[in-house]
Amino acid sequence: MQTSSANSASLDSLLEEADSWQVNTGGETIHAKRMRGRWRTLKWITSTIYLSFFLGPYLRWGDRQAVVFDIPNRQFHLFDITILPQDLWMLSLVLLFLAILLLALTVIVGRAWCGFLCFQTVWTDVYTWIEERFEGPPPQRRKLDKAPLSPRKIRIKAAKHGLWLVIAVLTGISFAAWFTDAYGLWAGFLTLQLPAAAWVTILLFTAGTYILAGFMREQVCMWLCPYARIQGAMVDVTTIIPTYDFHRGEPRSRKKRGAADGGAGDCVDCNQCVAVCPTGVDIRQGQQEGCIMCALCIDACDAVMDKLGRPRGLIRYESLDGLQGKARPPLFRQPRVLVTGLILLAALGGIFYGLNTIDAIELKVLHARQPLYVLQSDGSIQNRYTLKILNKLADDVKVRISATGPEGLAITSGTTLAVRHGTVTPVTLFVRVPRRNLSVESQPIVFHIETLGREPAFSSDRESIFIGPKQ
């Protein structure tokens, strides 16, 4: 336990440095102060999600990589599921799900993505943490930036940039590893024998990581990222976001309560909320585009309030309605939560349905257009079809083709064939029907394929048309 005199001494030192913390105007590098706290801890925990980004590619599933997005072969492997281009409609549902999830999250708790989960935030956080280890707290960093070039400065800066680059290269390799064999990638990387596409990918992501997390940092959030621009349309008066309680805080006074007049608020204008802000905004000016809602200002303010012996929560997660003393409607009574929730459920349902009904073999039928039908010498009518058989199984398989349609139809070309796995096998098929059985110009015909010689057997149907002469 700290004594009250120690508290007030440390508060004095905070007030002394208060004016050195300035709001970000874009002119200089933001060196944010690091402080412990609940939200700080939460941010570290949420950041660990990116460990899966680094470690995921090394997971094995049977004799291959568990997750690999094989672009050259147009196959996505997710554990025991293989997704071919024909199933990519599910990807659009996944994207829809993620986009709406982002919207739903923002509707309820603001830019939690930006503050706790965004790779820009997380990588910048790690980079500035490294910076602090090498260069010290913000005042020393500012001093070092201004200092003339010296062996000490070069040593410190080189070490920092070196470590940054190592992380950047690891990021680049980890990204590339999701698209190819991870171990082979490392082998190729270490022996300098990677294909050009891999080098370019690694280089781009290395450069991107190094520049975006090392130099641009909050400028990405403030001037590059479109999400900051559209969040205004997502957040409303019921959204709980880090908010400065101005009813309680204003008017600000740097005097301690005992010495202040009765009208002063709880804010002592120590600028600690600005000091810790990674984007350098002043939360007390209200909601603004620069705020990524990382809640670090809440930690900073709570620490000061603790020192002052005042209740925490001068800056807290609160909605604008809440600030006015209005009760927030429960989540299920908010139309936007309901609508986004429904869309999320629908997208999830679609993905679930898709994954459960991925056909092992799939049949597509194209009816020849030129000519639509051919009169044969025995008076029957022949139609030509191109059947495209997609085999998603792991092995080549034999299939038998059959058709049902106009009476007396006969398939005059071969009806069993081998189809290669992981690709589409096209086959031309001729079907004949006696002319007397064609009462109308166009009739439905259903093609059916089934696998032979394997258990369980798979089958697929596809309807097409049989065309005869005009009646």
Partner 1 sequence: MADKNPFPGENNTGHIWDDNIRELKNDPPRWWMIGFWASIIWTLAYAVLYPTVPVGDEPNKGILGWTAIKEYKEGLAEVEAVRARYETQIQGMTAKQILADPGLTAYTVASAKVLFGDNCGACHGSGGQGGPGFPVIVDDDWLYGGTIEKIEESITKGRKGMMPAHAKRLSPQELDTLANYVVNLSQGKDDPAGAALFKAKVCFACHGANAKGVQAMGSANLTDSIWRFEPGGVESARRTIAHGVNDAGDAETRQAVMPSFADRLSANDIKKLAVYVYKFGGGVQ
Residues 426-455 that bind partner 1 (CB under 8 A): 428, 430
Smallest separation, CB 377 to partner 1 (Å): 4
Q: How far is the CB of 236 from partner 1 (least distance, A)?
A: 33
322: tokens are 């809440």
Nearer to partner 1, 255 or 398 (CB): 398
Quick check: 27 binds partner 1 (CB under 8 A)? no
Does position 371 interact with partner 1 (CB under 8 A)? The reply is yes
The set of residues, in sequence order, having a beta carbon less than 8 Å from that of 155 and lying 6+ positions away, is none
Q: At 451, is the secondary structure helix, strand, or coil? A: strand
According to the binding rule CB under 8 A, does residue 166 interact with partner 1? Answer: no
* Residue 63 or 378 with smaller CB distance to partner 1: 378
Minimum distance of partner 1 from residue 215's CB (angstroms): 12
Give the closest residue to 235 by CA, choosing from 112, 70, 394: 112
Task: Return the bridge partners of 417, or none.
Answer: 399
**Using the rule CB under 8 A, is 31 a contact of partner 1?**
no
Closest distance of CB 381 from partner 1, Å: 10
Q: Which residues, numbered 216-255, are part of the site for partner 1 (CB under 8 A)?
A: none
Q: Please give the backbone phi and psi of residue 284, each rounded to the nearest 5 degrees, phi first.
A: -70, -10
Interface with partner 1, residue 376, by CB under 8 A: yes
- CB 388, min distance to partner 1, A: 13
Are residues 337 and 107 in contact, defined by beta-carbon separation less than 8 angstroms? yes
Q: d(Cα 165, Cα 123) in Å, to the nearest integer?
A: 12
311 touches 305 (CB < 8 A): yes
Question: Does residue 25 touch partner 1 according to CB under 8 A?
Answer: no
Query: How many Cα atoms within 13 Å fall on the side-chain side of residue 426?
Result: 6
Cβ distance to partner 1 smaller for residue 36 or 470: 470
471 is an interface residue for partner 1 by CB under 8 A: no
Distance (Å, rounded) from C-alpha 435 to C-alpha 437?
5
Residues 76/90, Cβ–Cβ less than 8 Å: no
Regarding 408 and contact with partner 1 (CB under 8 A), the answer is no
Does 416 help bind partner 1 (rule: CB under 8 A)? no
Q: At closest approach, how far in Å is the CB of 71 from partner 1?
A: 21
Site map 69..108 versus partner 1, x via CB under 8 A: ----------------------------------------
Tokens 């680049």 belong to residue: 172
In our burial notation (b when 16+ CB lie closer than 10 A, e otherwise), range 56-90 reads ebeeeeeeebebbeeeeeebbbeeeebbbeebeeb
- Confirm or reject binding of residue 464 to partner 1 (CB under 8 A): no
Q: Treating both helix axes as pointing N-terminal to C-terminal, what angle do 89-109 and 335-357 enclose, rounded to 10 degrees?
A: 150
Binding window for partner 1 (CB under 8 A); candidates: 68-76, 81-89, 205-213, 378-386: 378-386
Shortest reach from residue 233's CB to partner 1, in Å = 29
**Using the rule CB under 8 A, is 29 a contact of partner 1?**
no
Q: Which is nearer to partner 1, 106 or 464 (CB)?
A: 464
Site string for partner 1, 351-370 (x = CB under 8 A): -----------------xxx
Helical pair 182-190 and 196-211, crossing angle rounded to 10 deg = 90
Among 377, 395, 456, 471, binds partner 1 (CB under 8 A): 377
- Closest CB to partner 1 among residues 158, 418: 418
Answer whether 295's CB lies under 8 Å from 279's CB. Answer: no
- Does 378 sit near partner 1 (CB under 8 A)? yes
What is the rounded CA–CA span in Å between residue 283 and residue 224? 21
Tokens standing for residue 44: 């570290």
CA dihedral sign, ordered 225, 227, 232, 236:
negative
Which CB atom, from 139 or from 371, has the smaller least distance to partner 1?
Answer: 371
Q: How many residues bind partner 1 (CB under 8 A)?
A: 15
Instruction: Please give the residue ranges that form the binding site for partner 1 (CB under 8 A).
Output: 368-371, 374-379, 382, 384, 413, 428, 430
